Structure formats: structure tokens, C-alpha cells
Structure 1
Amino acid sequence: MSAWADRILREFTADLSRFWIALDPDGLLLEERVLHGLRERGFEVIPFEDSVSFRAEYEERFRAAWDAGEDGSAKALVLQLRGTELNSLPWDYIRSARQVSLSLADLFPKLNYGVVRRIEAEHHEALFQSYQKHTTQLLGEGATKDFILTHIFRLSPYLLSRPEDFWREVLRLHYRGTGLPEHLAKHVAAVLRESPLGTLPIAELLTSKAFMVRVIQDAWSRFVVRYGVETDGRDGDRTADENNALIVPFDHPDVRVIIDTMFLEGVLQPIAVHVRPADLPDWIRIGLIDDPQALSRLVSEGATRIAADMPLIDAPYRDWVEAARRLAELIYRFNELKAADAAGLQEQVRTLQLNADARLKEWVSRHFTDLPSLPVAKAPVMVHHVPRYLAMRRSSGEDRIALVVFDGLALDQWAQIREDLAARVSEFSVDEGACFAWLPTLTSISRQALFSGLKPREFQSSMGTTAQEPSLWSKFWQENGLRKPEVTYQKGLKRSEQLAGLEEILSKPTTKVAGIVVDMIDEIVHGAMLGKRGIAGQIRDWCETGFIEKLFTMLSQHGYHIYLTADHGNVDAEGIGRLSQGVVSELKGERVRAYRSEDLASSVPPEIDAFQFGKTGLPSDFLPLYAEGRGAFVPAGHQIVAHGGMSVEELIVPFVKIRMKKEENAT
């Protein structure tokens, strides 16, 4: 356990009280390592959002068991209050609970609280260690920013004098997955304002990975032309005019080594070229597709690199989100290969997928329980966080919001759709992200959680159907200040001719929030005969119809901020034997079955390779049984594409913001 987590955990001793109230204005108890440490000590943490839902969970899962002399769901419960106002809590809680106060102001008394509280929780541990070693006097706002930049981000703006220095640091920060917080990026920009670097969009490059990637991709297209490379001409027009003057020193060794990795891992897309000079330097070729084998080599080298860098058992969830993204980019590229080229790499890619799934299963068994409680201010961690995150975005000024849910869309399939849109729409861009679906990864569970903002046990009466989604979606938004006519839910969309009817609803001035389900991917998956490579071909044909482009353009023209996600992904699976149990199984999926008791779950024949996993967020009498690896409960040897399990491709789904800049600027 880290020194930072130990400092917080020392406030909690399970045998002092069963019920605790933590006044936690900075959300310190909701950090991953702290949550995990508390769970190991027998505590469960539940954020207090409203009295009704908290009391229902408290009475059912804890108090009834404690009154009977049992431990219940945990030995002790912590009510986490994101504030300091005890009066917002019921009196009986205040009277019976032991109280603890936690604050960044108390833990970092010599640093400026206004600066520290805007630092992401993932940096608290490193900041705590540096604070203990290096802070000897009280620091003001500017000095605190410099302290954090130096000790946490290893960046000093005062030492950035050359373009290669600046671009090296930009690439390094985003490659590590940690762009600068906005207030620190603005501080760097202010320091560099009068320097030769002052004309660059410094703050945006340091904060936004999506913006940085767009700039780098565009600059690469112009850079290779200087070496006499002839491209198809499309890649250089994908960014806005103000970026066209930016020059990136790709030939500097410090920059080149990171660019090389970004191409290998799919962050940057190589450019298809018609003519390549014979004397072109070898290091440039990784960013070009100039012969039939170039993409195959890129896939093979990328697979080797990803395999060597899989997250460990104690990795934070962000590491798995990033690993899933890298794997998705690789699978997308693999599916773009010609059949003969793909055949030669199939075993390597398959082994990588299986190893990633096995590693994720170990991680899930230890950490999945903590995910539902993690904070959502920066981005949703799980799909049921999405409505709450969107409500926060509305409070920040995004008056009209459209949540577009592609039922069953895996991250690799999103990468394919994204690249198609980028080729078609010059002003298209996207802020990339991902989040975790619910387990089991079935539509009636994960999509219902996505639209309701609830955990599955909170809608257990409708876990076998999606019929309640419209009312749950509307109820959430009414509880967050909207009137019923201001909220709409539409599903079953997949073809361009349906858009006119949708537009009639969305164009009404009263409509503020739209939930839209696009069903085509799920329809393709359930009819797939040729695996995910075959699905990629069908998605390509669907994109050619222009439906997705028209949908996003329409939403943008009517002033909607567009967010895209999925309820679950999908995976190539192989039959391990059909389960013929009649009505014994409460819920039947090809990758998962659910039972109402341990006795029923144990009725599965021993020759079926399957495993049970936990009850996180599920009703106590709902016991999922998962097919091991990439197995499916269909006749042995049958090849299908399915969902329901906990593979990387099923469990981690896209959550992205779509930008159609030309239309957004016009509204």
C-alpha cells in the first residue's frame, strides 16, 4: 500500500464502528487505491447522493444483517459525503455514525488549495511523496503550479526554448496518457507567451490529446511531401486552417522515437502513398503505406509491443482503458488486411487477444467492485455514470445533448467508423475515451444501466428486458431539472430514411436531451457468419450509405453536443457445448448464463468450462456463470460472434465526444 493511501486509511479502524460518515469534499475516499484498501479492511464506501436510495441500500444490505449479528455485505459501511454539511444527512445517521473529515487542504497545508484541488486524483500519491520531501515553506498560487509541474509532470516551462524541446514534452505527456490540467497548461502558455514558441496554441496542445493528434497527423502529411512522397491528397485537409502553419520537428531524435511508437500503436494513422523516393530515410517509412506488406508489418510489430506492455494486476483502471484502445486499433488494422495477409498474422493476434482477456479477468476479480463508486467529473468510468456526467456537462453550458448509443459496438469497430468519418468529413474530429460496461455484458443489463444511471440491482424487476429504458431515461432527467417534453428517447435507428422522422423530434426548440439507440451493429453481429473480419466488411458497406455522417451532421446543425458510446462490445467465440437446462437458467446468453441460487448454478455439467464471478451491483439472487476464455454455450466447435462475457472487446466500450466543427461554429 502506498504512503498516500496509508495516510488516509489510518483514519479508519473497522472495530471502532460499523457505520461511518466521511466528510470528503475532495473525493479522496473514491480514489482507486484508497477504495481497494478500505475494501481489504472490511469497509464498503457508498457515496451519498440522496437519502431514499442510500437508505434502501443501507437497510437491505447492511443494517438488517448487523441487527442479526452478521457481517452483511461488509463489516463496516462508510457514507461518503462530498461536502462538509452534516445537516444534509438524516439525523439518525449523524447520531449513530462515527465521523471523519478529509481534505486536500489539511493534507497539503503548504500548497495553494485552489491549485491542488484541480489536480486529477491519479497524481495525489506522487504529489504527496514530493510534498513530504521537498516542501519547506508556504507556496503561493504560481509557486504551487511550478512545484506540481516540476515534481509531478517533470516539466519546467522556463527550460523550453526550442521547438524540439516543446514538442518532445507535448508528445511525452500525451504518450503517458496524462495531458496537463487546464490551469497548469495556461500557466505554461503564459510563461512562454513572449518566447519564440508563443505563437503556438500551447494550452490546447498540452491539454487535449485529440487536438494534439489532429495537429501531428496533419503536420506529418505535409512533412513527408517535403521528402518527395506523393500521397492521395486527402490526409492534409483534415484539420482546421489555423493549424496548417504548425511545423513539427519530426526529424529530431527525441521527437522521432515517440512518433514511431504512436504509429505502431495506432494513435497515428500511416498515410497511403503512390510514390516514394528511393532515398527516403528508413525512419519515415513507418508512417507510410507504400507496399502491400507495409500494413502487415505494422500490425505484427504493434502486436509485439502491446503484448509486452499489458497492465499488471494492480494497475489503475485507466491503464486498462488505454490497453483496450491500443488493442482495438490493432484489431481494426488487422481486419483491414487482405485475407492472405491476415492469415499469416492470425495466430499472433489471437494469442495477444487471449492473453489480454486472461490478464483482464485477473484484474476484474480484484478491482471491478471499486469501479461503480469512482468519481465521474472528468469522464464516466462505467456506463451507468454516463447520464450523471452528461448532466454535469449541461450544468457547464452544453444546453442540448445527444447521447448516441451504438448497440453492441466494440472499440475496434468504433475505430473503423471513426476513420471512415475522418475521410468523409473534413471538419470531423473526436475526443477519444472509453468506459466499462456492466457485467454481464448483455443489452438488458448494461444498456438499461446506461440509460437509467442506476446499478443493475436498482432495476432488478426489468433486468430481462429493455422496455423500461424510455421511462428510466426520462426519470433521470426529470430528477435533474428537465421537464418531460424536454427529453426524448428513440431506438431502432439504422437507415438514412429514418432520419427525417428523427429530425422532426430533435428540431423542436423544447427538446434538450436526446437518447438515441442505433441498432445496426447489434443486428450485424447476431447475423454474422464470417466472424469479426466479416463484420468489418459489413460495417464498411453500412458506412457507405452515409447514415452515420448524416445523423451526426443533423445533430450538430440543431446545436446538440454529441456523445457516442455503446452498451457492450462483441468478440469472436467458439462453442464449448450447449447448456440444455430448460427454465433452470434465469437469463440465457451465448457467453453467460444467470441463476437464482448456488444450487441451480452448480447444476452446470462439469465438462462445461465455465466460472462464476461476484455480485457487484447485481441482485443478491442473480448469479452469473461465464464461459471460460472465448468460449460460448453453443455446440462445441461452432464459431460465432457474441457478447455477455468479460473479454477486453466486450467489457471496455467507446465513450467519445463527436465534433462536426463547421456546423458547430455555425450555431
Structure 2
Amino acid sequence: MASWRDEILKVTAEPVSFLYVISDPDGLLNDETILTKLQSKNIEMIEIEDVISFRYVFESKYRKAIYNREKALVVRTELEDFHKLPYDLLKLGSKHKISLSNIFPKLSYPIIKQLSTTDLDALYTVYQQYQGSSSDTDTIKFLLNRVYKIYPEIIESTSDFIKFLLSYHYQEIQLPEELEKYIIDSLNQVDMLNALPVKRLIQSRSYFYSYLQDEWDEYISQLHNESEQIKDPFDAQSHYHTKHSFSHPDVRRLLNDLFYENKLHPIKGYEKETLPNWTHPGIIVDEAGDKKDRIYKLLNTVREKLNGHTSYKIWIEIAKLYGELGNLFFSFKNELDKETTTTFGELTNQINREFEYWMFESYSTLYNIPYYPSPVMVDRIPHYLESLKRDKIALIVLDGMNFIQWSQVKQSLLNNNIQVNENGIFAWVPTLTSISRQAIFSGEIPMMFSDSIHTTNKEEKLWKTFWENHSISKQKVSYQRSLGQGDFNKEQIEALKRNDIRVAGLVVDTIDELTHGAIQGHKGMHAEIDIWLKNNYLLNLIRDLGESGYSIFITSDHGNTESYGNGRLSDGVLVQSKGERVRIYKDKLTRDERADEFSLLRWPNIGIPEDMHVLLANENKAFIPKQEQAVSHGSININEVIVPFVEVNP
């Protein structure tokens, strides 16, 4: 099927050059599919963002290989004037320009420039039908109607608005700023919506879900107290029916999914027999039974996701859903039946088999993807935070936390009226603290801090240097680690003691500590994290940071997974770094011999120094004595690689 990507890929068609210098002001080359296709042709890509970093990577990794015609490379730049690029680069390679204005000439270029590459797919299929002018307004209307299937003109009531918001936020649609503004301006003209905070309900997913939760609580109370019994037209077995936005059957179906996926929370204090059947997913009577119902629903939902196209965005969705599923599963003690336990185990194995394959095929494309509207790799987090231009920012790194544990933490925060805007992000591989956490605080790919890649002692310096390079004095940047133990004391938090701090980096390593001491797997960790959360250290930290004016973000450097002993590897001085699921060798030959001997994984040098030769445990194996169980990290299980990236609002 024809695609806008075909126009872009013509640049790298035969005859093959070994260096392409491409002006790409619209970021088209950063598309995951294009990067994968370039990779299939053995063409790598790097960007010119920082000249010093680019020169280091180019000279150390690519120049000799290009000269010897061993490796092909695309150098991407946003600059349109090639004269601003290094002369030696232009002399060595062929020059090309690509732009959306050439692919969609009839539309407003400033507007379509804001679209994601996924949205461009939908636009390409309907573009030939466009009959309007190249004005911003005509372009916006066409995009809303034909690409996003959004029709602001037919939203005339609160029910219409709620139905739109449910679909909009459940799909996690991210509209360009101008399109979002057009919708807000249009709906502010609708008289029946005057009493609603239209702008905030559209812009904040967490605020909308909080609003919807309040509406649900009030609605169920109304149903319960209804004096007049009216036959429910949507369910022959239901009775009370109060006129509300929730009356629409499409709204009801979406509400059920929100309860199953823990975006809304069922409420207690009502008998299901007195309420319509369709409301039951939002009512708690038998807590254990309701949890089991959610497990069954989530098992099916995750299976459906696996059966589709698995882009990095889909894997993030799967990681979030599996996190909810795992949190429910491990919250049970011994009440789950054998069939459910077996099904959960089989699904876990299927996810990790498919994810492991995808990682080898596509992981190398991720570090080129832009950090806006949300970062994809953890090293882009500080770049994203800086781009927000907030007055004060606090980044809390919950070291070693996967999405299962985040679901548990999130529930605790939501129970205390903390709003969360949740996304996922990829850790660096190997999924070790010294590599992935250092990437967070430096804002660099691991090969750029090769001198400290086996330690975390330079994190504070790297963190402050990043912000100093972005015009915030290092005296106004704080960094603290080894937080989370004992009772919370705000006097121990520099960002709370000093009014002049603008950026705070805080490492809470409780979960990672529990990981390395876990002898009962994720179930045991679930119980220990529950105890820690009840101590309210994290809750009080978030509340005090919020009261001090910080915008607060939570992430993790890597996750963790249950693993089982495959036998120890005796490598002595031949190995640079030892982990329970990873070995880093000085010598490639030794790494390859171990991989063949024990049927393990050779991880390619993606973003890491050339002299690091990585051996990974596959499936659920670990380099510990056979028959032993551990919770560990270092490899490419989905629970190790995809971690939360969340904004929280006290």
C-alpha cells in the first residue's frame, strides 16, 4: 500500500551511498517504520543536535567504517542550509532535503508540521479528497474531521461532550496545539457547556478522570435513592434509570473498560441487586470476586493487543495493562484457581517471547525518536522537562520499579487524591542502574559517559551540568539519592529546605532494595511495598513538593522480573560487570562462546561503548544456582525495559 514514507525512502534507494546528509526539518526520518526499513538495508542514522557529541560518535564509530564502505549512515539535521554543516561531512556524503510541504502541498505547512508520523498515515489516505484552501482554518477542520474523526460542530450537550472526552482520553489522542485550541474555542461557544471547565477537561486526562469519578459517585447515589422505578431501556434486567450522560450505551461500554483498567475506581456501600446490571463493574460488593473479574477481563484485553501490530506505542500500552494485571494477580494470597494462574503464566511467557524478538528487531530505532509530545527513551527525560519551561521541576526516580509495582504505587496515590498522567518509557539496555539511571541524569546516551558507565557516583555532576547547559545555574539544581527509608522528614530534602532550587532530582531506591532482597518473588515484594506505602514516605514527599510549587514527575531507571537459576557462569577477570541477568565482557569472543555454550543472547552495541560486549539471560533465566529463584534485572524482559513516566498533581 502506498505511503508518504515511500517519498522519503526514495532518498536512500539504489545506488547505495555510504553517507547521506539529509535536511529534515519535520522529523520524518524519526518515524519508527522508516528507521526499521533503513535498518533492514543496514543503514544507521545519527542526528546533529550537539556538534561535540555528534563529532565524538561520528569519529569513533562511523568515519572509518564509511571510508572502508563497511557501513552506511544517514546524518539527519533540522538545518535547511547545508553551508552551516561541517565541510568534511558534506564532501564525504550526498546531500538531500525532505519536507512535508512537498508531500502535502495543498495544506497549511505550519499546521501539518505539528502532526505525528502516525497521524500522517491517516492523512495520506484521505489527502486527495481535500478541496479546501491552504489556510490554517481549512486545514484544521479537514484534519479534525477526516484524520481524527472529531466533529466539534455536533457537540451540543453535556452528554455529547462526555462521550467525546471518554473516547478522546481513552485513546490517549495527542492533538497538535492548534487543533486542540480550535476545539476548545468552538466548545466554549456552546451554551450548555458554559458551566464546565472545558479547557481543563480536554487538556488534562487525569483531571477528566477525576471529574468522571466524582460524577460516577454522584450518579450511583442518585440511582440508589431514586424513588420512581423506571424500566431501563438498555437492559431488561435493570430498573432505576436517571437521565444522565451515562445513559448512552456507548458511554456505558467505555466506562466498563475504565473500571477494568483501573482508570476509574469502583465504589463501595451499595447492593448490586438495587442497581442496573451495566453499573456493576463500578460497584464493589465482593472485593475478591471483583478483582477476579478484572483479571479475566485484562487477560483478554492484553491478548487482543498482542494479536495486533506491535509498535513501541503498543508495547507501552501492553506494559501498562500487564502492570495492572500483575498488580491484581500478586495481591491475591492463595485464592486464585489453578486455571487462572496457569493462564497468567502462559500469557507472561508469550509477552516476553514476542517482546524479546521485537527488541532485537526494533529497539535500535527508539533513541532517534523525538522527546515531544512524550519521551520514548529515559535519556530524553531531562530534555523533555526542560522544554516544558516550568518554574520548578522535581524528578523522582523510583529506582528499579516496573509497571506492576507502579500500579500498586499509583493506587495508593489515587486513594489519597493525587492525580496522575501516566505514560511509559524505555530503559537503556543492559537494564542496569549505572547505565540507565545515569542516562536519565545526564541526558545522554550511555556511550557518552563511558568513563563512568560502571558507577553512579557522577550522577550529581552530570545532572547539574545538563541544567547549567540549559541556562539554569548549578546552584539552583539539587540531587539526592538513597531516599525512601524510615519516616519522611522534609528537613532532609534539599529541594524543600531551599527556596532557590528550581530543579530537583531525587532517587528513592526502596523498591530496588526490596528487589535484591526478594526471596518470595513478586508476591512477596507486593506485600513489602504495601507496608512501605502505608508509611506515607512517598505521599508526603509528593505533597510537600507540590506545596513548594514543583511540577512533579515520577519515573524509573529500569524494572525487574522474576527469574530462575540457570547456573552460575565462572568468568573471573574476563567479565567487566556481573549481574543476575547480564554479563558484560571485555572480549567479544569470550561473550560469543558463552552465548553458544548456554544458549544465551548476544546484545548488539546499541548506544553503549564499542568495547562493551553484552551477554543477556533470555526468557526467565538468571545466572544463579539452578533451582533458585530471584527478582532481578539487566536483560530485556518487558518488566525490565518499559518503565513508567508519570506527572503527578497533588
TM-score relative to the length of structure 2: 0.92
Matches of 1:223 and 1:338 in 2, distance apart?
34
- Equivalent residue number for residue 524 of structure 1: 514
| Counterparts in 2 of 1:319 and 1:2: CA distance versus 1, 3 Å | farther
Matches within 5 A, 1:73-472: 74-75=71-72, 77-131=73-127, 133-199=128-194, 200-228=196-224, 249-271=245-267, 273-291=268-286, 292-310=288-306, 312=308, 315-341=310-336, 345-393=340-388, 396=389, 398-424=390-416, 426=417, 428-472=418-462
1:23-65: per-residue Cα shift (whole Å, max 9, x none)? 2221111111122222223322211112221112112222112
Please state if 1:581 is matched with 2:567.
Answer: no
| Counterparts in 2 of 1:605 and 1:202: CA distance versus 1, 3 Å | closer
The amino acid across from 1:125 in the alignment is D
Does the aligned pair in 2 maintain the 1:507–1:558 contact within 8 Å? Answer: no
Matches of 2:180 and 2:94 in 1, distance apart?
41
> Match of 1:220, SS?
helix
The amino acid across from 1:652 in the alignment is I
Does the aligned pair in 2 maintain the 1:167–1:248 contact within 8 Å? Answer: no
Matches of 2:105 and 2:124 in 1, distance apart?
11
How far the C-alpha of 1:351 sits from its partner, in A, is 1.6
- Equivalent residue number for residue 51 of structure 1: 51
> Match of 1:441, SS?
coil
> Match of 1:309, SS?
helix
Matches of 1:28 and 1:606 in 2, distance apart?
39
Please state if 1:596 is matched with 2:586.
Answer: yes
Identity fraction in percent:
32
Does the aligned pair in 1 maintain the 2:441–2:462 contact within 8 Å? Answer: yes
Matches within 5 A, 1:483-498: 483-495=473-485, 497=487
How far the C-alpha of 1:617 sits from its partner, in A, is 0.8
Does the aligned pair in 1 maintain the 2:488–2:541 contact within 8 Å? Answer: no
The amino acid across from 2:186 in the alignment is V
- Equivalent residue number for residue 234 of structure 1: none
Please state if 1:25 is matched with 2:15.
Answer: no
- Equivalent residue number for residue 64 of structure 1: 64
Matches of 1:490 and 1:218 in 2, distance apart?
37
Matches of 1:158 and 1:166 in 2, distance apart?
11
1:500-542: per-residue Cα shift (whole Å, max 9, x none)? 4433454324322221111111111111122111111111111
| Counterparts in 2 of 1:652 and 1:248: CA distance versus 1, 3 Å | farther
How far the C-alpha of 1:224 sits from its partner, in A, is 1.8
Please state if 1:502 is matched with 2:492.
Answer: yes
Matches of 1:571 and 1:631 in 2, distance apart?
10
Matches of 1:175 and 1:503 in 2, distance apart?
36
Does the aligned pair in 2 maintain the 1:47–1:81 contact within 8 Å? Answer: yes
The amino acid across from 1:205 in the alignment is L
The amino acid across from 1:525 in the alignment is T
Structure 1 gaps of 5+ residues are 231-246, 661-667
How far the C-alpha of 1:588 sits from its partner, in A, is 0.9
The amino acid across from 1:284 in the alignment is T
The amino acid across from 2:291 in the alignment is L
The amino acid across from 2:152 in the alignment is P
| Counterparts in 2 of 1:416 and 1:439: CA distance versus 1, 3 Å | same
> Match of 1:586, SS?
strand
The amino acid across from 2:32 in the alignment is E
| Counterparts in 2 of 1:2 and 1:311: CA distance versus 1, 3 Å | farther
| Counterparts in 2 of 1:186 and 1:528: CA distance versus 1, 3 Å | same
1:60-84: per-residue Cα shift (whole Å, max 9, x none)? 22211233x241xx32x22211232
The amino acid across from 2:409 in the alignment is I
How far the C-alpha of 1:584 sits from its partner, in A, is 2.4
1:443-462: per-residue Cα shift (whole Å, max 9, x none)? 11111111111112222222
Matches of 2:202 and 2:116 in 1, distance apart?
15
Greater CA drift, 500-509 or 273-282 = 500-509
> Match of 1:308, SS?
helix
- Equivalent residue number for residue 233 of structure 2: none
Matches of 1:157 and 1:569 in 2, distance apart?
41
> Match of 2:12, SS?
coil
Name the Cα RMSD after superposition: 2.3
Matches of 2:205 and 2:501 in 1, distance apart?
32
- Equivalent residue number for residue 553 of structure 1: 543
Does the aligned pair in 1 maintain the 2:23–2:97 contact within 8 Å? Answer: yes
> Match of 1:583, SS?
helix
The amino acid across from 1:183 in the alignment is E
How far the C-alpha of 1:248 sits from its partner, in A, is 5.9
Does the aligned pair in 1 maintain the 2:491–2:497 contact within 8 Å? Answer: no
> Match of 2:615, SS?
strand
- Equivalent residue number for residue 41 of structure 1: 41
| Counterparts in 2 of 1:183 and 1:203: CA distance versus 1, 3 Å | farther
> Match of 2:269, SS?
strand
Matches of 1:576 and 1:209 in 2, distance apart?
44
| Counterparts in 2 of 1:544 and 1:599: CA distance versus 1, 3 Å | same
How far the C-alpha of 1:489 sits from its partner, in A, is 1.4
Matches of 2:28 and 2:596 in 1, distance apart?
45
Matches of 2:294 and 2:134 in 1, distance apart?
48
How far the C-alpha of 1:567 sits from its partner, in A, is 0.4
The amino acid across from 2:283 in the alignment is L
Matches of 2:111 and 2:51 in 1, distance apart?
32
Structure 2 gaps of 5+ residues are 227-242
Please state if 1:541 is matched with 2:537.
Answer: no
1:254-290: per-residue Cα shift (whole Å, max 9, x none)? 111122222223332322x233152422221112221
Matches within 5 A, 1:4-23: 4-13=4-13, 15=15, 17-23=17-23
| Counterparts in 2 of 1:298 and 1:279: CA distance versus 1, 3 Å | same
> Match of 1:328, SS?
helix
Matches of 2:562 and 2:514 in 1, distance apart?
13
| Counterparts in 2 of 1:629 and 1:82: CA distance versus 1, 3 Å | same
Does the aligned pair in 1 maintain the 2:21–2:96 contact within 8 Å? Answer: yes
Matches of 1:187 and 1:320 in 2, distance apart?
31
> Match of 1:529, SS?
coil
| Counterparts in 2 of 1:70 and 1:417: CA distance versus 1, 3 Å | same
Q: Count residues in correspondence.
A: 632
- Equivalent residue number for residue 615 of structure 2: 625
> Match of 1:340, SS?
coil
| Counterparts in 2 of 1:342 and 1:447: CA distance versus 1, 3 Å | farther
> Match of 1:514, SS?
strand
- Equivalent residue number for residue 658 of structure 1: 648
The amino acid across from 1:305 in the alignment is T
| Counterparts in 2 of 1:342 and 1:608: CA distance versus 1, 3 Å | farther
- Equivalent residue number for residue 232 of structure 2: none
